[in-house]
Amino acid sequence: MESEGFGVSSFDTMTDEQFERHALEVLGRELGVDGLARFLRLNRSVAGDYTAERNAWQKDLTVDQIIDSIKRRRKG
């Protein structure tokens, strides 16, 4: 998948800001202004505290459990 000179492999070399700008350009082009606005509204107005929630469900995980989980996901 290549868009405006950015190959998939070049995403790894982009800064987060460059990647976000590129992604918003693609979404704007594909969804139009109204669709992009709706997407941003839905995905940026999430209720709750993600960091606190993540810390709560991860507090009892060990490093070995995390590594095992990553390995299982890569296999599946």
Q: What's the token pair of residue 56?
A: 């709560």
Q: What's the token pair of residue 54?
A: 């993540």
pLDDT, one tens digit per residue, over 20-57 is 899 999 999 999 999 999 988 887 766 778 888 888 98
Q: What's the token pair of residue 73?
A: 């996901």
% of the chain exceeding 70 in pLDDT: 86
Distance between CA 6 and CA 25 in Å, rounded? 12
Give the pLDDT of residue 2: 44
In the chain, alpha helices (H): 16-44, 50-58, 63-75
Give the pLDDT of residue 1: 41
Distance between CA 31 and CA 38 in Å, rounded? 9
* Residues 6+ away with beta carbon under 8 Å from 18: none
